[in-house]
Amino acid sequence: MEIIICPDGDEVARVAAETVAQVCWRVGPDVVLGVATGSSPLALYRDLAALVSAGKVDLSGASAFALDEYVGLPEGHPESYAEVIRRTVTEPLGLDPARVRVPDGRADDIEEACERYELAIRDAGGVDIQILGIGANGHIGFNEPSSSLSSRTRIKTLTPKTRADNARFFDSLDQVPVHCLTQGLGTILDADEVVLVAQGASKADAVAAMVEGPVSASCPGSILQTHQYATIVVDEAAASKLA
């Protein structure tokens, strides 16, 4: 695990976008990206989009797989991750929408939809670089504390803390779905490379547990300690509880 502490969020984004760009250069235009939603990677996507616009990164054949999706939101709901990924990733990066996948949170057969998602990742040749944020409780994807360290894509129940954290995107807490589909920790670990970004003091405890705590289901992010190529890019506030 490599830890990079940056003076501010802009530098976090610049360094993380550069990390993604290096993988794109190495793999080529048909790179497979793993993409997270949430606030943390937005500036990274902005900086990566600038590299694409400047002709420095070619994503013309790229595919992308989202980490997770809410269960039960209607098609086109602005806070469904399918829509969030379209707005923040697919369009700014100029990806072909046909090659951008999000778990199907509206499927009648959820179990089959999860299996299909795992197969689609495998058929694409696996994720070359997975972009992650981390929840204040240590979750990655929607793998909440106590998630199995070898889990695959499946349905999960969001904790009250995560629903409260995400209520800012909805009109009220009641509207935040209770269930989600998420890539498992085992799925995330299969990516060739991982870059996790975290900014702000609200992430300091989670970052300390992820980097310096035991590898434990009580902090799902700590599983990244076992990944050979995991880069953690944080600002000083998020790094403030590291020893």
- Closest distance to ligand F6R from the beta carbon of 127 (Å): 14
* Nearer to ligand F6R (CB atom), residue 59 or residue 133: 133
Q: Is 174 a catalytic residue?
A: no
| Bridge partners of residue 131, in order along the sequence | 195
* Nearer to ligand F6R (CB atom), residue 30 or residue 215: 215
> What is the arrangement of strands in the sheet containing 68-70, beginning at the earlier edge strand?
68-70, 179-182, 154-157
- Closest distance to ligand F6R from the beta carbon of 28 (Å): 26
The type of residue at 130 is Q
- Closest distance to ligand F6R from the beta carbon of 214 (Å): 20
| Bridge partners of residue 76, in order along the sequence | none
What value, to the nearest 5°, has the Cα angle with vertex 108 and ends 105 and 109? 90
Among left, alpha and beta (phi > 0; psi -120 to 50; other), residue 70 is: beta
* Nearer to ligand F6R (CB atom), residue 23 or residue 238: 238
Q: Which of 68, 69, 165, 190 is catalytic?
A: 68
* Nearer to ligand F6R (CB atom), residue 30 or residue 240: 240
- Closest distance to ligand F6R from the beta carbon of 115 (Å): 20
Asked whether the beta carbons of 215 and 109 are under 8 A apart, the reply is no
Q: Is 236 a catalytic residue?
A: no
* Nearer to ligand F6R (CB atom), residue 31 or residue 38: 38
- Closest distance to ligand F6R from the beta carbon of 211 (Å): 16
Residue with the two structure tokens 């944020």:
133
Q: Is 10 a catalytic residue?
A: no
φ, ψ (nearest 5 deg) of residue 121: -65, -45
Q: Which residue ranges make up the site for ligand F6R (CB under 6 A)? A: 36-40, 67-68, 133-135, 139-142
Q: Which of 69, 118, 128, 139 is catalytic?
A: 139
What's the per-residue H, E or C state across 155-215?
Answer: EEECCHHHHHHHHHHCCCHHHCCCEEEECCHHHHHCCCEEEEEECCHHHHHHHHHHHHCCC
Q: Which of 28, 21, 30, 27 is nearest to 50 (CA)?
A: 21
Q: Is 144 a catalytic residue?
A: yes
Q: Would you please indicate which residues are annotated as catalytic (active-site) residues?
A: 68, 137, 139, 144
